[in-house]
Amino acid sequence: MTEKTSSLPIVSLAASQRLGQLAGPKQLEKIVQSAWKSLALPLLLFIALPLLALFLRTSPDRFFAELNQPQVIQAIKLSLFTSAVTTALTLAFGTPVAYLLAQRRFRFYRVVDTLVDLPTVLPPSVAGVALLMAFGRKGLFGPFLDSMGINIPFTLVAVILAQTFIASPFYVKAAAIGFAAIDPELKQAAALDGASRWQTFRYVVLPLSWMSLLSGSVMTWARALGEFGATIIFAGNFPGRTQTMPLAIYIGFEIDLNVALTLAVILVCFSFLTLILVKGILHRRLDTDREANAQ
């Protein structure tokens, strides 16, 4: 058994060499490329066909007719508003966290880094339950909030908190990578020239990392726009109050399928455009880095 096993690589190598001699290097490369394409095709079709079916199922006339429905307009407006607020909050409070993670000079760095990543791997339903246990009336902070007359669950604030919990790590990680990529010597040079830490951050760090911050912001906005699980548990599904587009799609399957299809098409378009924008930003950054290295 050992002799047969050990001889397999030799046989495979000999076979590939023999094939290369018979077909020629260029022909062999074409055969390998064709094999890779054949193996990649099933998964690509599996991803593309359901999206194509979604668009084929919705005619333009029906799409624009449903787009004028009050519940559709309400869901779109609410989603755009809450996702914009979520992105703004993430920028305000996530940027210091990202800058701290980029330094890697504090105790419990791995704990903080893992904590930031945790919402991205948690089931959204678990996140919704956790938020209820923290801010619900019988939650950890519930009695204190109730004594101040503040009620968070099943309100617009709950939608924003759920989206922030789920979507903020996308910005924090992208921003941290951008901050960490800056040459420390540039910050040291600014400090030697008399710049304060804030001036160094404002005039050196931010201009050099703006592409990472922008791509992270766009990804956070897109993730907030599509958030479902944590929102429906923590904020409920009340039309005009907490019903975002994903929640309206869920209800649409029970009440009006055309509404669900219309909102689904809108979310697919938003997601596609978001990815195109982010990839364009990243490619531009790679081109800039290559030009800098070439010089």
Local confidence pLDDT in tens for the 295 residues of the chain:
444 444 445 445 555 555 555 556 778 788 888 889 899 999 999 999 999 999 999 888 888 888 888 989 999 999 999 999 999 999 999 999 999 999 888 888 999 999 999 999 999 999 999 999 999 988 999 899 999 999 999 999 999 999 999 999 999 999 999 999 998 888 889 888 888 888 888 889 998 898 899 989 999 999 999 999 999 999 999 999 999 999 999 998 888 888 899 999 999 998 899 889 888 877 776 666 666 556 6
Q: What is the pLDDT of residue 60?
A: 87
Q: What is the pLDDT of residue 107?
A: 86
54 Cβ contact partners less than 8 Å away, ≥ 6 residues apart:
261, 264, 265, 268
Task: Provide the residue type at 26 as one letter.
Answer: K
Q: Which CATH architecture has domain 61-294?
A: Orthogonal Bundle (1.10)
Q: How far apart are CA 132 and CA 140, in angstroms?
A: 9
Distances (CA, A) of 291 to 175, 233, 283, 285: 22, 49, 12, 10
97 Cβ contact partners less than 8 Å away, ≥ 6 residues apart:
112, 116, 172, 176
Structure tokens at 209: 């990392």
